[in-house]
A and B are shown apart, each in its own frame.
Chain A
Amino acid sequence: MTKLTHLTMADALAGLAAKEFTAVELTQAHLDAMAATKELNAYIIETPDAALKQAADADARYAKGGQRALDGLPLGIKDLFCTEGVQTTAASHILDGFVPPYESTVTTQLFRDGAVMLGKLNLDEFAMGSANITSHYGPVISPWSPKDAAGNFTRKLVPGGSSGGSAAAVAARLALGATGTDTGGSIRQPASFVGIVGIKPTYGRCSRWGIVAFASSLDQAGPMTRTVKDAALMLRSMAGYDPKDSTSIDVPVPDYAAALTGDIRGLRVGIPKEYRVDGMPAEIERLWQQGIEWLKAAGATPVEISLPHTKYALPAYYIVAPAEASSNLARYDGVRFGLRVEGKDLKEMYENTRAEGFGAEVKRRIMIGTYVLSAGYYDAYYLKAQKVRARIAEDFTKAYEQCDVILTPTAPSAAFGIGEKMDDPIAMYLNDVFTVPANLAGLPGLSVPAGLSGEGLPLGLQVLGRPFDEATVLKVGHVIEQAAGPQPLPPLVS
């Protein structure tokens, strides 16, 4: 029999319903796996007692035959979601000791549907990063990192970021699925780096209420899972209108799993020519071509499209996102929650608290944001970036007159080692070159494992869709998943 930790969410639900194992056994198997893999640093805090209690409640419901959509499924929660009574850090020193007295809407809905929380997952500080190396709690190590015969790492690979703990945990079988958030690629890029599925839904699809804010016009929550079907199941629970988020959209949430028919005949797949960036590795280009061939074989029609402002997406993002972050992070002042470092007066207390509480990357972004919003520079930088953002969104609107979905690589490379790409912030930012446009335009985007690099590391393909058409995005992702076939396990997983 398959190890309990290796089951898909769909198979685990079937096994629980058939009484092949209990939710407590399923949860305990994950807690044991977590205890044995602390070296990955995937979890910031584990909540075994609460998890076993939730699992026992699920078992009671199964016994009565009244189970819920995700009943008894052990999940990891990115530590950016506020969880009532459980420390929430955003991987920042400045949130030391913060215990939310409320529950985020997304986790409330997951628990409503019976999900079990194993713990809170590591991430880049305030979700700012693409390698999970900016966490106050230390970097997350990818389960794809190679080891020597003595069991020591010969190279520590990053799991991507910012949802690096979520990605590592799902790939390493330390959770059946996990929540992520995606502001510029933070679900899709790590999913690609560790060989799992991740979807950033349309902006407004999942409530942002109770998620620690980074850049409010870009942030969106989504599931990270090992199969497209699991992403469909989990997204259905996470999504939905919430009056507590003024940008949440009141549209029905479809049964995404029912959309996975495999039938994409006649679908027009846009291939944006501007995504053939200079210096893109040949293996990424080959993977992309392979993806096009798979979709063609399934009856879809590739269409070359143009998204002329693609190269301006990253610089526009690096004005808009820091600007919003500088405003959102103004709340961390040592008064209402988290760290306080005393000073001789109120102003110095603010300055000391923020100097000690924020890490280098967060400070850099707050300062960029403060600068582009300051008197004399607002029009030249912030307003200009918002206008460029409008042109990027317009590119997609025009493209969707010619196609139904868009296929691109998820990231311009496979995972790299911890310590690489650290000197130049822009080299790190380039990780998100293919994912950022969907955030600027608010569109849904999925990363699905499609093969391995020459070094044997996972590579993902990205499917972008029309607003609120996650169903088609998932359907196309499912076809790629089926065509790519079973993918190998990370070397650290047995």
Chain B
Amino acid sequence: MSLDKATVAKIAHLARIKVPDSDLEQLAGELSTIMTWVEMLGEVDTQGIEPMTSVVAANLRRRPDAVTDGGYPEKVVANATDATENFFSVPKVVE
């Protein structure tokens, strides 16, 4: 599968990574090489095979629905660039 520049630009946008236009061509080449290589999976007969989503038992353990942790907001925001009154602050979103 060959990826063109427009597709790479779209993926970069979805991944929220700024990619300068000048880099799109090379990146398209690299990603195309990988996507062409993985095409060989098409040779495998997977008729009736369930996709493997986990290597461990499918049933997750249950536990009582109780609060077992928390109560330290200052620790939670300790690594934030911009924490005001124990909130994570971001550039203004709503005008």
Contacts and interface: CB of A to CB of B under 8 A. Distances in A.
B91 interface: yes
B46 A391 contact: yes
Nearest to B63: A243
Given A335-B80, A390-B52, A346 B90 contact: yes
Interface string B56-77: 1100110100000000000111
B89 to A, nearest CB: 8
A326 B15 contact: yes
Given A343-B91, A367-B12, A370-B15, A387 B46 contact: yes
Interface centre among B15, B53, B92 (most CB of A within 10 A): B15
A155 interface: no
B80 A337 contact: yes
A340 B90 CA distance: 10
A351 B79 contact: no
A388 B3 CA distance: 23
Nearest to A347: B16
Interface string B19-57: 100000001001101110110111110100111111111
Contacts of B27: 364, 367
A484 B70 CA distance: 52
A387 B90 contact: no
Nearest to A340: B81
Contacts of A390: 46, 49-52
B59 to A, nearest CB: 11
B73 to A, nearest CB: 11
Chain B, interface SS category: loop
Contacts of A426: 33-34, 37
A340 to B, nearest CB: 4
Chain A, interface SS category: helix
A349 B90 CA distance: 9
Given A98-B79, A333-B16, A249 B46 contact: no
Contact of B46 (A98, A101, A348, A388): A388
A345 B37 CA distance: 38
Contacts of A247: 54, 56
Q: How large is the interface on A (under 10, 10 to 19, 20 to 34, 35 or more residues)?
A: 35 or more
Contacts of A204: 55-56
Contacts of A295: none
A441 B46 CA distance: 16
Contact of B61 (A246, A319, A388): A246
Contacts of B41: 312, 315-316, 319, 384-385, 388
Nearest to A443: B55
A108 interface: no
B15 A336 contact: no
Given A367-B27, A368-B31, A387-B51, A442 B18 contact: no
A384 B16 CA distance: 26
B69 to A, nearest CB: 9
Contacts of A326: 15
Contacts of A311: 40
Given A204-B56, A335-B80, A350 B16 contact: yes
B22 to A, nearest CB: 13
A336 B38 CA distance: 35
A312 B55 contact: no
A217 B54 CA distance: 6
Contacts of A12: none
Interface stretch (A24-32, A128-136, A279-287, A352-360): A352-360
A424 B37 CA distance: 12
A414 interface: no
A271 B80 CA distance: 52
Contact of A354 (B16, B50, B63, B77): B16
A312 B40 contact: yes
A347 B93 CA distance: 9
A425 B46 contact: no
B11 A367 contact: yes
Given A355-B19, A387-B51, A381 B14 contact: no
B38 A318 contact: yes
A440 to B, nearest CB: 8
B31 A312 contact: no
Nearest to A358: B17
B91 A349 contact: yes
A99 B63 CA distance: 30
6 contacts: A98-B79, A312-B40, A330-B16, A367-B15, A367-B31, A371-B7
Given A243-B63, A316-B41, A441-B55, 20 more contacts: A99-B79, A204-B55, A217-B53, A249-B56, A315-B41, A318-B34, A333-B16, A342-B91, A345-B92, A355-B18, A358-B17, A364-B34, A366-B17, A368-B31, A371-B3, A385-B41, A386-B51, A390-B50, A390-B51, A391-B46
